[in-house]
Each structure stands twice: as C-alpha cells, then as structure tokens.
Structure 1
Amino acid sequence: MLDLLQQIAAFNFLLFTGLIWYYRKKLDHAIFIFSFFLLGKGLTMLSNLLLGQVIFPGERVALRAGVIMNSFLFFYAPFLYWFTLSVLKSVVPIRKFSIHLLPFLFFLLTNIALITMAVLEYKGTFFNHLLVFRNSIEALYYAQVLGYTGVSLWLLYKSESKGLIFDKIVKWLKQVLWIFIAIWIVFFVSSLFNENQFMADSLSALGIVLLLVLSNVTLLLVLGSPEVFYNNLSVKLKKVPNTDIVNKQNYDKLCELVVSQKLYKNADLKIGNLSSAIDQSPRNVSALINKFYEGNFYDFVNYYRIEEAKSLLKNTEGDMTILTILYESGFNNKSVFNAVFKKMVGVTPSAFRKNHITTLYG
C-alpha cells in the first residue's frame, strides 16, 4: 500500500510539473517557481522507489539513479521559500537566489562522487569516510525543510496588505506552509520508529496522502482563482460587465491610479491587481480598458511602460543603460521591450535615444 501511494504521489507531482511548464507563458511567474518545488518533491519520491527497489528491482543502474535523485532532498525547500518571496516581492532574480541551492549542489556532487567510486569499484578508506559524511549531511534535511518553511511563514505574517487579491494568495500560502510543516513532522516522527515498522509505514502513508491532497488542492486553486495566477484574463471573462461602472470617470480614475502609484512598474502586474486598486471586478476593469483605451490589458499597461521608457531615454544627464531602463519601466525581458517599443514608437529604443540626442545637439 505504501509503495503504491509513493508511485501515485511521484507521478502526481511530476505530472503537475509538466503541466505548469507546458502552460508557463499563461501562468504567473510565481507558479513557474512553485513547479520546481513539485519537481524536487516528485524526484525525491521517485528516488525512494528506486532505492527501495520497488521499481526496477535488481537493476544497479536504477539503484545508482536513485542515489543521484536522492540529492533532491535539498532541492525543493528553497523553491518553496523563493515562491513565497515571489508572491510578496514580485520578481526575485535567479542570480540573487542561487546561493540557496548550494547545499543541493554540494549533496549532489557528493552522491556523484560515491557513485563514480562504486562504478570504478573503489571501496577504500576515503570511500567509507565520504559515505559517513554523506549520511551526516542527509540528517540535516529536516532542519533545512523546517527552516525554509518557518522563514517563509514569518515573512507572510509580517507582510502588509496590498489588496484583496494579495490577501487571498497570502492566506492560501499560509495554510499551505502550515500543512507542509505538519507533513514533514509526520515524516520525521515516522523515521524514529525503527523498531515498529507498522507505525513507521502508517505515518509515512499519512504524510504521502496529505502531500497528494495538498498538491491537488493547489491545482484546484490555480484553476479556480485565475485572477491570481494567470497573466491576462481579458479574453477569458465571460460574465457581462456592469454598464453603470464602465464610464469615462472610472476609466480616468483607473489611469490616474496607474500613474500616481506607478503600477505599471510591476513586471508581474495582472488585471487582478488593477481591480484591487480601483475596487472593481476584473471584468469591469477589462471592459473599461477595452472601451476607452480600445485595446487589451497588456496594450494598456505597456503604453505607460513605454512612456516611462521614453522619458528615461530622453534624460541625457543620466547614464542609464537600456537594460536598466527596461527594468525601471516595468519590463523584464529585453526582446519583449524592444518589440513593444518599436511597435508603439516606430523605432528601437537605441534609435530613439540617438534621434533625441541628434535633435538636441545636432
């Protein structure tokens, strides 16, 4: 029964990872980060099946692959923390976060070294010392998991409200993290019952069932709360907007909020954020933009981003690079910035800057 549950759970996590990667362009960047948590957990459970010889029994290659995959014990907890940061602070670049993956890389290299020596049939003193060292590192797994989860919870509880949509995702994430802490405590307690196999297996089965429930609840939340997790909902809003709300006064109010609060500078801005800012439903905000701007949500936001970029490009007193300017304007991709700029202005950003300097100084 326990082996079957692990197989189902491993398949479940890896399937959800694949689905998120397939639809990553439509989903919020934070969900893409969350998929690496699912990947790490799925590979870890798969490694348990390989090491226990539940699948491919007697195959040395499978056993060695299980040892390598076991390195992912130290992989997924940092991504849960990164997911929390992405929810709270929008974009957190990989170069700033990569230091958190060092324990995983160190454990991975240690496992690769052990496998290499086993293949070469080197079983000397160094191999034995390295094996003891590797097992000592593995013992820190629960401390790492609980540490990252605890810090994530602390960040969520100290965060300030940014609107209804933000509060909704924070509330959900708090629940997810508390349940994960409970799950990892269950797994830790199960590891203590070395002499009572029934109790150990029962607790492990409970932990796996909770993981399955939580992963499926996460998927249901993504499907049930598209305004939180999807990038552009303007073509998906089926209900009829409130015609009393869709007027020029509210559109002007929306534009004023976008400019005064510089909402366009948020690279992960979604229509749900605008609806929270103006206290209207996403469908009403979409209708306002479609009627008075005569374009979709992203055309509307990109207009303000391009105006900001043009202003920065005209500033001859500064020495901002075009890469810096695109980030300051709310873009997070150079090719997208160049394409949108040329579409709206007619020339590339570098040509626009050059033309402006020529106009000023001849």
Structure 2
Amino acid sequence: MDNLLNIVTGISLFISFFLAFFMLTVKTKHKTSNYLFAFFLIITAIDTSEPLISQITNGPSNLGMFRAMLCFLQIPTFYLYVLSVCYSDFKWKPKYFIHLLPYLVANLVLLPRFYLVDVDSKLDFIINRQNMIELQINHWLLHLQIVFYFTAAFLVLRKSKKLYLENNSGGSLNSYQWLFQFISVLATLYLIVILKNILKFSDYPYISDWIKIGILMLQPFITCWYLYKALNNPGLFRNIDSKLKLVSDLILEDKKIEPETLNEDLLKLKQYMTDEKPFLNPDLKIQDISKEIDVPVRELSVLINHQLGQHFYDFVNTYRIENAMKILKDTSKSKVTILEILYEVGFNSKSSFNTAFKKQTGNTPTEYRKAV
C-alpha cells in the first residue's frame, strides 16, 4: 500500500507542478489569475507530499510543520483566484494580505511547544498529537476557514453571474456553470478533509488514514479535469466590473423613479431595438445601448431588469430569438443551417442559442422549423 501511495503522490505532484508551470509561463493578459492558481497548485502539492517526504526525513522538524501549515494558505488563495476570474478589473491590493492571518495564527500557536523546543520534545509532541490543544485549535480553525471561504466563493460567483445577466448579452453561461462545478468539487473534497481531521482525534484514527489515501488518489484526477476544462475554456468570462451594482441595490439608492421618465425611456429603448437591431452584436452591453439612446446606465438597468422583469441578457435574447424565428419560418431560407442562423442573429454559441430558444418557444430550433 505504501508503494502505491508513493506512486500516486508522485504522479499527483508531477501533474500539479506541470500545470503550475504552464499557468506561470503561458502568454495571457490574465496573469494575476494564472499566478494565483499556480500558487494554489504548488502549495497544495507541497501540502499533500507528506507520504514522499516522510520517506526521506528522520523525524519532526520546523520545516516539516511549516509544510503542514501551508493548508491555511490554500483556500484563501483559491478564493482570490475566484475573485480574479469573476471580475475583469481585479488587481492585487495590500488589503489582501489579511488572508495570511489564519496561517500566521496557526504557526504562532505552535511556537512555544513545537517550533522553539528540541527534537525530542518535537517527537513527543507528534506522538501525543491527539492530546495537544494546539493541533486541536488549528484543526478547528482550518474547518472554520474552509466553511467561510467556500461560502464566500459561492456568494461571489452568484453575484457576478447576476451582474453579468443584468449588464451583458453576449457570451455563454457555460463558464459560470463550469466554475460552479469546480468550486463544488473542491468544497466536497475539503469537507471530506474536515471529516478526516475529526476522525483523526476520535477512537477511529485508522478511518482517517484511509480517507487520506482516498484524497491523495483523487487529487490527480481533479487536477487533470481542471487542466482539460482550462484548455477548453481559456478565456473563461471576466466580463464583470467589480464597481457595478446590482439592480436591487440601485433601487434602494434611487428610492423613486418618475413613471413618466420610465415610459419615455421604454419607448426610446423599444424603438432603438426595432430600428437599429443592436442585438445583432454578440458582445452587446447595456452601456452600449445607454450611450446610443442617451439614457443613464442606472436608469436603463432599472428599467429592463426591474420594471420589465427581465435580465438584460434575456431581454436582448428575446429580440434575437424573434429574429431567428422569422428566418426559420422563411421557406426561401430552408437551406440555411441552424449554426448560420444563430450567428446571424447575434448568438456566439450553439448551446446558449438552443437554451434561449427553447426557453422562449418551448421547442428547439430544429423542432420549431419542422413544425412551421
């Protein structure tokens, strides 16, 4: 079993460091995101390298404990990565150093009875680890950190997706779904880690060891899955400005908007959409329409997302689908493919076109063409 565990750990380390090297060297304008994820991969790989390191070390050491405490940097780094992917204007700020606090606290707790003592005392500390209050404190601190940061990551993703729907019409939501899947997989993995740590201080420590082996065997598969997804979604989305506000917040700020103003703006909006057909632009944003019809973005956003009861994303897609329906009904264009139609009306992916079309008509584009 030890040999198998060493082989799996070695493969996992190779894949993690290879992907980290790729993220650090690939040419892209999103360097901060790549650096953050590369750092996450590296510290995770170092943290899970214990089976191999134990083969070449003679006993407990300060360096070994520092390695073990790197787990406190993993989730904060991943959270910052999620922020950098969701928001196009993400930049490193000094305030982000506050995320080092759990790591510093975890090490300070170990200072008196581990870092500052001799080797024999360190060995005694490890042997009696189940009774050491310092390790119990650190385990509970790690558990709280995992719950806090993954909750924060899900909240960031939910808010950025909503902002995207309220301000953008282009692209696809597949990237959000993929990132949601990835966060969910990691959250599940870390919840299993919590279970492992709880069992470590129970009467069933051997179960904790088996869970640890399972995690080490899963890690290379998860890393490969991420690599596959990353290579197939190199741009992700990064369409949201973090300074944007949700419509619900704008309504609270504005308190009251004159009905006459809303009616005038609505007429201007509908006239512009019908005459100029801006929806044919696959990258159309609410700011583009605001500029053309001379209506402030705040008022236009409230009008569409609140008064009309539609996200801007759905509002624009309604016009695109209506245009696509006209083409599908036209017998003279029966040889025009679905793919050609979706690009012609402003979509840029087949999946988003099919989803929007079925949502509005109840049929897929192919079914609709056959029915008419």
Aligned to 1:57: 57
1:150 aligned onto 2:151: yes
Matching residue within 15, 18, 33 for 2:18 = 15
Alpha-carbon spacing, 1:213–1:164, altered in 2? closer, same or farther (3 Å): farther
Higher relative contact order (CA 8 A, sep 6+): 2
Q: What SS does the corresponding residue of 2:116 show, helix, strand or coil? A: helix
Q: Write the letter of the residue equivalent to 2:141.
A: L
1:94/1:134 CA distance change after superposition, 3 Å: farther
Distance 1:116 1:141, change over 3 A: closer
The answer on whether the counterparts of 1:2 and 1:204 sit within 8 Å (CA) in structure 2 is: no
Q: Distance in 2 between matches of 1:140 and 1:103?
A: 8
Residue in structure 2 matched with residue 136 of structure 1 by the alignment: 137
- In 1, the alpha carbon distance for the partners of 2:348 and 2:171 equals 11
CA apart distance, 1:206: 2.5
Percent identity (aligned): 18
Q: Which of 180, 185, 191 is residue 191 of structure 2 equivalent to?
A: 185
- Report the alpha carbon displacement of residue 135 of structure 1 after superposing the two structures with TM: 4.6
Residue correspondence of structure 1 range 163-312 to structure 2 within 5 A? 163=169, 165=171, 167-191=173-197, 192=199, 195-196=203-204, 199-228=207-236, 279=346, 281=348
> Does the 8 A contact of 2:85 with 2:237 survive in 1?
no
Q: Does structure 1 retain, via aligned residues, the 8 Å contact 2:72–2:142?
A: yes
Counterpart CA distance in 1 for 2:45 and 2:192 is: 18
Distance 1:206 1:256 in 2: 47
Q: CA deviation at 1:254?
A: 8.4
CA distance 1:211–1:57, change in 2 (3 Å): same
Please name the residue that 1:79 is paired with.
Answer: 77
Letter in 2 for 1:206: G
Q: TM-score, normalised by structure 1?
A: 0.54
Most deviating of 192-201 and 30-39: 192-201
Query: CA distance change for structure 1 residues 48 and 102 in 2, over 3 Å: closer, same or farther?
Result: farther
CA contact (8 A) 1:156 1:170 kept: yes
The 1-side partners of 2:121 and 2:210 are apart by 38
Aligned position for 2:326: none
Once the two structures are overlaid, the 10-residue window that deviates more, 20-29 or 76-85, is 20-29
1:350 matched to which residue of 2? none
Please name the residue that 2:308 is paired with: none
Check whether the contact 2:16–2:42 (CA below 8 A) recurs between aligned residues: yes
- Taking a change above 3 Å as real, the CA distance of residues 119 and 201 of structure 1, as seen in their structure-2 partners, is closer
Aligned 8 A contact 2:6 2:51 in 1: no
Structure 1 residue 199, shift from structure 2 partner: 3.4
Q: Which amino acid aligns with 1:143?
A: L
- SS of corresponding position for 1:226: coil
Deviation per CA, 1:190-210: give whole Å up to 9, x if none: 331655465333322322233
Q: Summarize deviations over 1:71-92 as a string: whole Å, max 9, x none.
A: 2111010122112222222214
Amino acid at match of 1:42: A
**In 1: Cα distance, 2:187 partner to 2:57 partner:** 32
With over 3 angstroms needed to count, the CA separation of the structure-2 counterparts of 1:211 and 1:254, relative to structure 1, is: closer
Question: How far apart are the structure 2 equivalents of 1:64 and 1:210?
Answer: 28
Q: Which residue of 2 aligns with 1:301?
A: none
Distance of aligned partners of 1:29 and 1:46 in 2 relative to their CA distance in 1, 3 Å threshold: same
1:107 CA displacement: 2.7
Q: CA RMSD in A?
A: 4.1
* Other-structure match for 2:47: 44
User: What is the TM-score with the length of structure 2 in the denominator?
Assistant: 0.53
CA contact (8 A) 2:5 2:51 kept: no
The code of the aligned residue for 2:73 comes to F
**Counterpart residue number, 1:100:** 99
Deviation per residue, 1:222-262 (Å, 9 max, x gap): 211234389xxxxxxxxxxxxxxxxxx99x96899686679
The corresponding residue for 1:351 is none
CA distance in 1, matches of 2:195, 2:10: 22
Q: Say if 1:71 and 1:111, in contact at 8 Å, map to a contact too.
A: no
The one-character-per-residue Cα deviations of 1:264-313 (angstroms, maximum 9, x if unpaired) are xxxxxxxxxxxx9x94659xxxxxxxxxxxxxxxxxxxxxxxxxxxxxxx
Tell me if structure 1 keeps the 8 A contact 2:24–2:34: no
Unaligned 5+ segments in structure 2 are: 123-127, 239-276, 292-316, 318-344, 350-372
1:105 is displaced (CA, Å) by 2.8
Superposition deviation, residue 67 in structure 1:
0.8
Distance in 2 of aligned mates of 1:113 and 1:11: 36
Contact 1:2-1:205 within 8 A present in 2 as well: yes
Where in structure 1 are there 5+ consecutive unaligned residues?
231-248, 263-275, 283-362
- Where 2:35 maps in the other structure, the secondary structure is helix
State which structure, 1 or 2, has the greater radius of gyration over its C-alpha atoms: 2
Any conservation in 1 of the 2:23–2:37 contact (CA below 8 Å)? no
2:147 & 2:283 partners in 1: Cα distance? Answer: 44
Distance in 2 between residues matched to 1:254 and 1:229, nearest whole Å: 14
For residue 83 of structure 1, what is the amino acid of its counterpart?
Answer: Y
Report the counterpart of residue 118 of structure 1 in structure 2: 117
Partner of 1:32: 35
Aligned AA (1:85): L
